[in-house]
Amino acid sequence: MEKWSGKVAVVTGASVGIGAAVAEQLVGHGVKVVGCGRNLENLKEFASTLEKDAVKKIKAPGCFKPFKCDVSKEDEVLALFDFVKSEFGALHICINNAGLGVASPLLSGKTEDFRLQTDVNVIGLLVVTREAVKVYTFTELLLHSSYKSNIKGQEKTILVLLKKYNYAFCVSDLINFLIIFF
């Protein structure tokens, strides 16, 4: 992790759960994290907690910058990456973690629930990924996207490691672990 110290990361869904845990670990390893989520107050509270803990634990120069961004709203995603470009001039890591699950059965569910879940978990993931790749300016970008499907709680993780001329794509779904090198 030392090679990531001083680098810049975006973590979506950073105010709670997995996103918060990942952001905390990245900051602890010296990464400059732009943490985004729909609730700016939760992000600011999390940033305050990290600062207090950092004084006790962290020796690396990491930091956490809260940023309000609902990944289902393209204009907010564009604003997020404009902020990253203006504040840091580069992006090295994107943890595309934002996601939600709506308990809405297929046969009796509401269309707006399906649309919300699709807008966050699919369209949001794609737009964040597209904009992250546009911003990255160095030869290496670690892009990690995770989402949960509603099929029996199955969790899947997609890990993409991009380099200037070659890249690796890795998919894991609790049982199977597949790595394809291009």
Span 146-177, pLDDT tens digits = 544 444 443 443 334 444 333 333 333 322 33
Does residue 28 come out as left (phi exceeding 0), alpha (psi in the -120 to 50 range) or beta? alpha
Tell me the C-alpha to C-alpha distance, in Å, between residue 52 and each of 8, 68, 82: 21, 21, 28
Tell me which residue range forms the domain holding 108: 2-181
Span 95-147, pLDDT tens digits = 999 999 888 888 999 999 999 999 999 999 999 988 998 887 543 555 555 54
Q: How many domains does the chain have?
A: 1
pTM to 2 decimal places: 0.75
The crossing angle, in degrees rounded to 10, of helices 125-135 and 74-88 is 20
164, 163, 161, 165: which is closest to 179 by C-alpha?
161
Asked if residues 94 and 143 have their Cβ atoms less than 8 Å apart, the reply is yes
In 93-158, where does DSSP find H-type helix? 111-118, 125-135
| C-alpha Rg value of the chain to the nearest Å | 17
Alpha carbon distance 54, 58 (integer Å): 5
Instruction: Give me the CATH number covering residue 119.
Output: 3.40.50.720
Span 1-24, pLDDT tens digits = 677 888 999 999 999 999 999 999
